[in-house]
């Protein structure tokens, strides 16, 4: 009989939950704002309500286990308690996986990045570069031997925009809508151009520099993360919004 796994990716800003069958079929997905002040009971109620809207059934009657990735340490125990009697697999560098970590301190690598690497390697052959555009923007490099060799971390688009608003008193809030022309002729369009097209240029430029320094020119490029919906990357990037969930599923397969 096919089981269902509940996959939870808890980011600094948003949490994404997915229900997958063990044959890899995605059944349902929910997304909500991360709240580190939530109690276990509140998280359980929220997950119950959101999945019931998608499925018409109780998620806790369907799921046989939980695979959890979080970059918010305070929520590890809270979400584990919210899942009640279900076994919870917490993604970390200590778990079994089908790739290597060729870095000095693998225990420092975030669970979301581990999941992204696992998910990407389940889709395409290495070498790879993965961009995850979220609260922070991360770059992950995987060489031809399926080894994660490093990357880079920069402030995310919305993080940078909020910092600019907080520090520049005369700049007002604008809707983050991407202008077609990089040359703005009003303060509003100049902010939009600088924040959005400047962020695109950062990703494109860092990608080229990382590939060159790592000697991985020709690598497949994959982009994921909530901020990818606000920008327009070049056609060389393959957009995979569900990448982290796919990686959590792969971790579940490697750690049955």
pLDDT per position as a tens digit, 144-179: 999 999 999 999 988 888 887 777 766 667 777 888
Q: Is residue 197 part of a domain?
A: yes
For residues 193 and 147, state if they share a domain.
yes
For residues 12 and 59, state if they share a domain.
yes
Task: Band the pLDDT of 194: cuts 50, 70, 90.
Answer: confident
Q: How many CB atoms lie within 10 A of CB 97?
A: 21
Q: Tell me what the mean pLDDT of segment 30-43 comes to.
A: 95
Enumerate the known binding-site residues for ATP: 9-16, 135
For residues 24 and 81, state if they share a domain.
yes
On whether the CB atoms of residues 39 and 101 are closer than 8 A, the answer is no
Q: What is the pLDDT of residues 4-16, one digit of tens each?
A: 999 999 999 999 9
For residues 86 and 141, state if they share a domain.
no
Q: Residue 13: which domain range?
A: 4-91
For residues 128 and 225, state if they share a domain.
yes
Q: Is residue 252 part of a domain?
A: no
Q: Is residue 39 part of a domain?
A: yes
Please identify which of the residues 112, 180, 208, 213 carries the catalytic annotation: 112
For residues 143 and 232, state if they share a domain.
yes
**pLDDT at residue 180, as a whole number:** 85
Into how many domains does the chain fold? 2
For residues 218 and 143, state if they share a domain.
yes
CATH classification of the domain holding 44: 3.30.420.40
- 1 pLDDT higher than 80: no
**pLDDT at residue 106, as a whole number:** 96
| Its pTM surpasses 0.95 | no
Q: Identify the domain boundary among 66, 91, 116.
A: 91
For residues 232 and 134, state if they share a domain.
yes
Q: Is residue 118 part of a domain?
A: no
Task: Band the pLDDT of 195: cuts 50, 70, 90.
Answer: confident
For residues 133 and 87, state if they share a domain.
no
Q: Is residue 247 part of a domain?
A: no
For residues 59 and 8, state if they share a domain.
yes
112 is catalytic: yes
Q: Distance between CA atoms of 100 and 46, rounded to whole angstroms?
A: 36
Enumerate the known binding-site residues: 9-16, 110-113, 132, 135, 187
Q: Distance between CA atoms of 158 and 144, rounded to whole angstroms?
A: 33
Q: Is residue 251 part of a domain?
A: no
Q: Is residue 106 part of a domain?
A: no
Q: Is residue 156 part of a domain?
A: yes
Q: Tell me what the mean pLDDT of segment 40-44 comes to.
A: 96
Q: How many CB atoms lie within 10 A of CB 113?
A: 22
Enumerate the known binding-site residues for substrate: 110-113, 187
For residues 129 and 232, state if they share a domain.
yes
On whether the CB atoms of residues 231 and 216 are closer than 8 A, the answer is no
Q: Tell me what the mean pLDDT of segment 114-135 comes to.
A: 97
For residues 86 and 10, state if they share a domain.
yes
């Amino acid at each position: 009989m096919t089981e269902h796994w509940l996959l939870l990716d808890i980011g600094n800003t948003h949490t994404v939950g997915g229900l997958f069958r063990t044959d890899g079929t995605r059944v349902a997905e929910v997304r909500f704002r991360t709240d580190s002040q939530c109690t276990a009971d509140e998280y359980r109620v929220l997950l119950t309500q959101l999945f019931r809207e998608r499925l018409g059934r109780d998620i806790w009657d369907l799921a046989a286990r939980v695979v959890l990735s979080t970059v918010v340490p305070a929520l590890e125990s809270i979400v584990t308690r919210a899942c009640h009697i279900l076994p919870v697999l917490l993604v970390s560098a200590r778990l079994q996986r089908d790739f290597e970590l060729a870095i000095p301190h693998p225990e420092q690598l975030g669970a979301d990045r581990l999941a992204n690497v696992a998910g990407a390697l389940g889709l395409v052959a290495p070498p790879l570069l993965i961009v995850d555009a979220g609260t922070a923007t991360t770059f992950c490099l995987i060489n031809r031997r399926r080894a994660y060799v490093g990357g880079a971390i920069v402030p995310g688009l919305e993080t940078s925009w909020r910092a600019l608003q907080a520090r520049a008193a005369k700049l007002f809030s604008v809707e983050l809508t991407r202008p077609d022309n990089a040359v703005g002729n009003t303060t509003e369009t100049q902010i939009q151009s600088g924040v959005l097209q400047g962020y695109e240029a950062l990703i494109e430029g860092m990608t080229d520099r990382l590939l060159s320094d790592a000697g991985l020119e020709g690598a497949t490029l994959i982009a994921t993360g909530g901020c990818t919906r606000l920008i327009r990357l070049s056609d060389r990037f393959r957009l995979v919004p569900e990448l982290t969930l796919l990686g959590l599923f792969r971790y579940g397969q490697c750690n049955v």
